[in-house]
A and B are shown apart, each in its own frame.
Chain A
């Protein structure tokens, strides 16, 4: 045997890359790609820009958090629609006091990806007339950023509370409005996703802070989207367990809304790894919503 034969024999049986490592590597690359194109990244679609442009920059070994998760049953669309209908009926339609136009909608969400946590608080002007605030803390670092006034050209996703409050409360009419939204168009074009996935994904953003009547209508409208599936067990980023309704995109994975099984309250969201029913890419939990007089002030109620 010559030197090269011996050398080639060493570690010749090194195992090939595991499917999981390959998949994680690919997702990290997609993060990076998404972060390089802020206007049309998949991350804007997948989740909040504040959190995720940061995620794209973070070169850390990301371990996908494996969670006990349910398997979507076959033919579970009917069940999924039921869960959404129950969620709609559980929404409190009349708030004690409607927010004033000079106030701010407060939202506090915990995001978990790869076992790492980012806590994001946002204050958004009720009528869109003044800048808001985004405070973010966690594994991506801490930041406090003034958010610009929403641009109507970006569609309903950036729409202030006062605009969302004028959306139709009839589910069919609401769904038509959502299907025709510029943000939906933009996402379809840039990410090549279906109109259904784009609408579903935008709903994820809207339901968290929408006025009660619209929020209920959103759940009812979501129930009309073809292809939704029911997931029996799902856990939000705060560890609260419930059930979920998901819509699958072949590239983004299943995008799921998590609801409390008993109260039917909306808890949070998760996005699964593409093709997986058990491996979670992103998980979040709505911790608190409210109305604040000023950005930076956490409402007590």
Chain B
């Protein structure tokens, strides 16, 4: 471990791909901690945005436990492990669908986000969104199918490319494209309706 700790501080070793680390972790399991060190932040950020910080604390941790157990099946031809990790995280999110959808609905109706993060240790910041646009989009998010929402949010919130989403969800790139288009179409419809409503009012 002393050697390993030194390795981590060696810039040349940091450049080693995730695939290499995962491959090495099959013989030397402790290597896998590096996957956590590299990607825990982004996986948590994505999960927190979908289901709130508190649930994300557990799910991000679960993501890496599951990943560790499945490391033997990792395709080492894929140097970047992030799509794989996002895929595991997406599966784990399924159990929290209701919470997630309810939060979008609440945001749409009231402008208050029930999953608003705690920016400081003790005060809960109620994020009030006066913006009608955001509320319309939240309403649309609540109505999307799970599959559409997964693709749309991996794209918009996790910043994954089409190919990476395809890899994460184990679906063809064409399917990613069509789900993304459908999802965005629904958002646009919701925005147009809002625009028309406010247009009528003014």
A interface, CB within 8 angstroms of B? 1-4, 6-11, 13-18, 21-22, 24-26, 28-30, 32-33, 36-37, 42, 59, 61, 191-194, 250-251
Is the CB–CB distance between B44 and A17 below 8 Å?
A: yes
Is the CB–CB distance between B49 and A7 below 8 Å?
A: no
**B 130-169 binary contact with A (CB < 8 Å = 1; else 0):** 0101101110010000000000100011000000000000
**B 2-44 binary contact with A (CB < 8 Å = 1; else 0):** 1111000000000000000000000001101100110011001
Is the CB–CB distance between A17 and B33 below 8 Å?
A: no
Known: A11-B49, A16-B44, A25-B60. A4 touches B65 (CB 8 A): no
Is the CB–CB distance between B36 and A4 below 8 Å?
A: no
Is the CB–CB distance between A17 and B45 below 8 Å?
A: yes
**B 91-123 binary contact with A (CB < 8 Å = 1; else 0):** 000000000000000010000010101110000
The binding surface of chain B is classed by DSSP as helix
B interface, CB within 8 angstroms of A? 1-5, 29-30, 32-33, 36-37, 40-41, 44-45, 48-49, 53, 56-58, 60-62, 64-65, 68-69, 107, 113, 115, 117-119, 127, 129, 131, 133-134, 136-138, 141, 152, 156-157, 184, 187-188, 191
Chain B nearest CB, measured from A59 CB (Å): 7
Given contacts A13-B117, A28-B61, A28-B64, 18 further A-B contacts (CB under 8 A): A3-B137, A10-B134, A10-B137, A10-B141, A11-B113, A11-B115, A11-B127, A14-B48, A16-B41, A18-B57, A24-B57, A25-B40, A29-B32, A29-B36, A33-B68, A42-B30, A61-B57, A192-B1
Q: Closest residue to B65 on the A side, CB-wise?
A: A32
Q: Which of A2, A9, A21, A42 contacts B134 (CB 8 A)?
A: A9
A33 to B69 alpha-carbon distance, docked (Å): 9
Chain A residue numbers with a CB within 8 Å of B152 are 7
Chain B nearest CB, measured from A215 CB (Å): 30
The 4 A-B pairs with the shortest beta carbon distances in the complex, nearest first, are A192-B1, A25-B61, A3-B187, A17-B44
